[in-house]
Amino acid sequence: MNTVLKTLGISLVAIGGLAISNVTVAADGGALYTSKLCATCHGADAKTPIQPIYPKLAGQNAEYLIAQTKDIKDKKRTNGQTGTMVPFTMSLTDDDIKAISEWIAAQPTQ
Ligand code: HEC
């Protein structure tokens, strides 16, 4: 099974190059955004937060989103309502944060 998947993956990369691997990253980020419950506070579209004081994230640049999410997770950023988000960041790996941030950055702002 693994060998088949690996072979398939390698073939897809060989055929499609970067385009296919980018689509895969974006899809994972969107799934993680939902499964890690980011959507419950920031909105399914990342721009309709459940509280007016919670930030709209859609379209923000990925580097910034990565840095903020890591700082909130590491409790380096503790301003405002940040504490409410900390528990939801605990299970995120660096790869998860990157994938989610790239997905958010690609969402339309309006
Ligand atoms: C319980 C609600 C809640 C959940 C769940 C939540 N957040 Fe947040 N998030 C917030 C709040 C509130 C802030 C703003 C904190 C402040 O007042 O500065 C914030 C801030 C952020 C910021 C910084 C935005 C900026 O403009 O600086 C990012 C990035 C972010 N969240 C990403 C995520 C991601 C990714 C997830 C899922 C892993 C997530 N959040 C889950 C409430 C939440």
69 lines ligand 1 (CB under 6 A): yes
In this prediction, residue 98 carries a pLDDT of 97
- pLDDT value at position 3? 52
pTM: 0.82
If you take atom 8 of ligand 1, which residue's CA is the nearest one? 85
| 102: pLDDT strictly greater than 50 | yes
Domain range summary for the chain, segments of one domain joined by +: 27-105
- Rounded Cα distance, 42 and 105, in Å: 13
pLDDT in tens, 28-78: 999 999 999 999 999 999 999 999 999 999 999 999 999 999 999 999 999
Q: Are 47 and 58 in contact (CB under 8 A)?
A: yes
Q: What's domain 27-105's superfamily in CATH?
A: Cytochrome c-like domain (1.10.760.10)
Ligand 1 centroid, distance to 28 Cα (angstroms) = 19
pLDDT at 75: 97
Report d(CA 82, CA 9) in Å as an integer: 39
Taking residues 88-109, report their average pLDDT.
Answer: 97
Instruction: Count CA within 13 A, CB hemisphere, residue 71.
Output: 11
Is the CB of 24 inside a 6 Å radius of any atom of ligand 1? no
Express each pLDDT in 13-26 by its tens digit.
444 444 455 544 44
Question: With 90 as the cut, is the pLDDT of residue 110 above it?
Answer: no
